[in-house]
Amino acid sequence: MKRRDFMRCLGGGAAIAGVSQSPWWPQVLGGVQNAWAFDVTTKLSSVEARHYKKLEGGGIECGICPRHCRVTDLERGFCGTRENRSGTYHTLVYGLPCSLNIDPIEKKPFFHFYPGTTALSLATAGCNVDCKFCQNWEISQARPEQTTNYEFSPQDAIDTCKARRVSTIAYTYSEPVIFYEYMYDIAELGQKNGIKSVMITGGYIDEQPLRELIPHLDAIKVDLKSLREPYYRDVVRGELKPVLDRLIQMRKAGIWLEIVNLVVPTLNDTDQEFTELARWIKTYLGTDVPLHFSRFHPQYLLTELPITPQITLERAHQICRAEGLEYVYLGNLPSHPAESTYCPKCGAMVIERRGYQTRVVGLAAGRCSKCKHLIPGRF
């Protein structure tokens, strides 16, 4: 099937293929089998990367994330998606997603960003950390040669959104920082076409690339995995401080921000951790930033640990609410009352959620219908 025919199929209302938050094979839109939907390619891209500097002797130093990988000729950095070719740094994944879906925006999760809408979600292979609990490790820890990639340009992304009447593009599943150039160009083009962009990220990015990107984004969700440096070093293979610095930068920039914390039994599930997390968010970001506690399921390198007990998540919720956070949610607990949004002033439910079924029940022009309290977000 040619792209033109596929786009006509999308416009004609073809069914959406099964959506998976953990896509171990490439997901493709339109009810068309994977390889038929887009042109599959084994070629890697050769677009010049942004944010790097050339070193003496033909090496380069990457400046996209805090690793600052130093790469000699024909070598790649930690993420495996950027390569030095004769002193010029190239992104190998530009326009080559390996996973592509239309998802509920709540799946990201965003609970205060146009609830009940959908997002075109895309990812390429690669990541700049290696979380032992990663649910999408089959693509995040893969190299672009190891995944089935599809030719999908920024214009294709915009055309797909228009054909399917999708208002938002989400950069998700793996780590969007490693396909920064692709994300940037889609987001910039989306702005010109009235299509929003949201980044789902670990926040492990340098200050200047983030500064340049934020004006083209509409919201960011950050996985803040812990407030302990040893956890980032041993479980995430990253660093904590740059993530905290970028969160503060995002908040100061005024972009809509939500935070997720995956609660892993025995690793980051103590009352002290929940208290410290709540106090840090309250101090540096504000009480109105939504915080999502998500339930861990054993996978990747942590298969020996149990599923997070519901009582642990409920304790985290209770502690953070007591510390003054106004919007605390529990994830991977379908139909739990803490999935829904309540007015912090009068307690009335304003958005009801049951899994990915969302109903706005008490919100008018961004305010509680009962007491008129302003509910922060994008509605």
**Per-residue confidence (pLDDT) for residue 11, from 0 to 100:** 38
> What is the spatial distance between Cα 376 and Cα 55, in angstroms, rounded to a whole number?
46
Q: Report the run of H or E that residue 160 belongs to, with start and end.
A: helix 154-164
**Per-residue confidence (pLDDT) for residue 39, from 0 to 100:** 82
Residue 34 has pLDDT above 60, yes or no: no
Domain ranges in the chain with CATH number 3.20.20.70 = 99-338
**Per-residue confidence (pLDDT) for residue 94, from 0 to 100:** 98
Model confidence band, residue 36 (pLDDT cutoffs 50, 70, 90): very low
| CATH architecture, domain 99-338 | Alpha-Beta Barrel (3.20)
Measured torsion, CA atoms of residues 232, 235, 237, 239, in degrees rounded to the nearest 10:
0
**Per-residue confidence (pLDDT) for residue 42, from 0 to 100:** 86
Model confidence band, residue 21 (pLDDT cutoffs 50, 70, 90): very low
The 10s digit of each residue's pLDDT in 311-324 is: 999 999 999 999 99
Q: What angle do CA 177, 111, 254 make, to 5 degrees?
A: 60
Model confidence band, residue 37 (pLDDT cutoffs 50, 70, 90): low
Q: Which of 42-46, 77-81, 112-116, 320-324 comes out lowest in average pLDDT? A: 42-46
Q: Which parts of 227-306 are beta strand (E)? A: 256-263, 291-295
Residue 300: alpha-carbon gap to chain centroid: 19
Task: Provide the edge-to-edge strand list for the sheet that holds 341-342.
Answer: 341-342, 349-354, 357-360
154-164 vs 3-11: helix axis angle to the nearest 10?
30
Model confidence band, residue 14 (pLDDT cutoffs 50, 70, 90): very low
Tokens of 352: 């009801």
**Per-residue confidence (pLDDT) for residue 224, from 0 to 100:** 98
For 300, half-sphere exposure in the C-beta direction (CA atoms, 13 angstrom radius) is 19
> What is the spatial distance between Cα 246 and Cα 285, in angstroms, rounded to a whole number?
11
Please state, in angstroms and as integers, the Cα–Cα distance from residue 284 to each residue in 3, 62, 124, 263, 287, following that order. Answer: 47, 29, 32, 21, 9
Smallest Cα–Cα separation from 107: which of 301, 265, 288, 339?
A: 339
Residue 216 has pLDDT above 70, yes or no: yes
Q: Report the run of H or E that residue 252 belongs to, with start and end.
A: helix 241-253
Give the pLDDT mean for 57-82. Answer: 97
Model confidence band, residue 232 (pLDDT cutoffs 50, 70, 90): very high
> What is the spatial distance between Cα 203 and Cα 180, in angstroms, rounded to a whole number?
12
Give the pLDDT mean for 203-231. Answer: 98
Contact 263, 313 (CB under 8 A): yes
